[in-house]
Amino acid sequence: MDFFAKLGKSALDVFRVVGRAGIVLWRAILSVRRLGRSVGLIFEQMRQFGIDSLPLVIITSVFTGAVAAVQVSYQLKEFLPKAYLGTAIFKSVVIELGPVLTALVVGGRVGASIAAELGTMRVTEQIDAMEAMAIDPHRYLVMPRLVAGLVMLPALTVIADILAIGGGFVVAGVALDVSAKVFIDGMRTMFYAGDVLGGLIKACAFGGIIALMGCTAGLQAAGGAVGVGRAATRAVVASCVLILIGDYILTTLIYGIIFP
């Protein structure tokens, strides 16, 4: 019985979080009509979401590309000629590694910081103060972060894609004895614009997930410093899980139906 009670409680918790996130999302969407008045706030969030995450994204993507080159060449050396190294790296980076790894590292950094900032504002009554002065926190706090997420994660992903392929290119040339021409020819064969576009659509969704889960966890924070810490953890866990689940669903949809 205890087991079923726990199972039921966890299931209810999941629905509660999804429900709250849905409400936060809906209210943020409703406030988009006042986008014009929030331009300054949006640019500030874009800076925090995007530009401040650049160093982390640069390091992650360069080494991801380098490791991908080593792995591909090691695992496929028996089956594939080295001419296909560029193809394999390009495809795996733009479809999967670029969007997902960028989302996961940015989700950890930005999701936690959004949740901690909004959570602190919640427990110190700053959000109440905002509502009391008739300013909707969903417009003033959530919507700019959501827009920043939707715009900046694809932008970061483009940078990550380029750097990861660059990392793979360098390793291929230096350590794996694949010349630049061979690598680039490999990338050209089987190049589909849909691959790149699909990756960016995924990145857009992941950016929305990170901002939304950060805001939802922050707005629900309660109980002082402990509550703020818990909100930050919850935001990161929720966004990572949703990014991975969302990745499966979106990959199936995009590469199965939209760009088959």
Partner 1 sequence: MINGINWKDGSFIHVDDLHKSFGSNHVLRGVTFDVFEGETLVILGASGCGKSVLLKHIIALMYPDSGRVDYRGENIFEMLAPELNEVRKNFGMVFQGAALFDSMTVGENVGLPAFEHWGTRGEELSKLVEEKLTLVGLGGIAHLRPSEISGGMKKRVALARAIALDPDVILYDEPTTGLDPIMAEQINELIRDTQKELGATSIVVTHDLHSATFIGDRVALVVDGRVEFVGTTDELMSTEHEAVRNFIARGQANRDRPEPDFTVSF
Q: Which of 1, 132, 193, 257 binds partner 1 (CB under 8 A)?
A: 132
Residue 179: strand, helix, or coil: coil
**DSSP character at residue 171:** H
- For the chain, give the number of residues: 260
Q: Is 136 in the site for partner 1 (CB under 8 A)?
A: yes
Residue 259: strand, helix, or coil: coil
* Minimum gap (Å) between residue 146 Cβ and partner 1: 18
Q: By rule CB under 8 A, what string of x and - marks binding of each residue 11-40 to partner 1?
A: --------------------------x---
CA–CA distance, 203 with 226 (Å, rounded to integer): 31
How many C-beta atoms surround the C-beta of residue 28 within 10 A?
A: 23
Q: Is 135 in the site for partner 1 (CB under 8 A)?
A: yes
Q: Is 185 in the site for partner 1 (CB under 8 A)?
A: no
Smallest Cα–Cα separation from 233: which of 107, 146, 123? 107
Quick one: 6 or 37, whose CB is closer to partner 1? 37
Q: Is 124 in the site for partner 1 (CB under 8 A)?
A: yes
Quick one: 95 or 118, whose CB is closer to partner 1? 118
CA angle 135, 213, 118 (to 5 degrees): 40
Stretch that binds partner 1, among 88-96, 118-126, 179-187, 234-242 (CB under 8 A): 118-126
Distances (CA, A) of 129 to 139, 216, 217, 227: 15, 18, 19, 19
Is residue 156 within 8 Å of residue 47, measured between CB atoms? no
How many C-beta atoms surround the C-beta of residue 135 within 10 A?
A: 13
Stretch that binds partner 1, among 119-127, 150-158, 178-186, 188-196 (CB under 8 A): 119-127
Q: Which of 125, 244, 245, 252 binds partner 1 (CB under 8 A)?
A: 125
* Minimum gap (Å) between residue 130 Cβ and partner 1: 8
Quick one: 86 or 144, whose CB is closer to partner 1? 144
Q: Is 71 in the site for partner 1 (CB under 8 A)?
A: no
Residues lying near partner 1 in the complex (CB under 8 A) are found at 37, 117, 120-121, 124-126, 128-136, 140
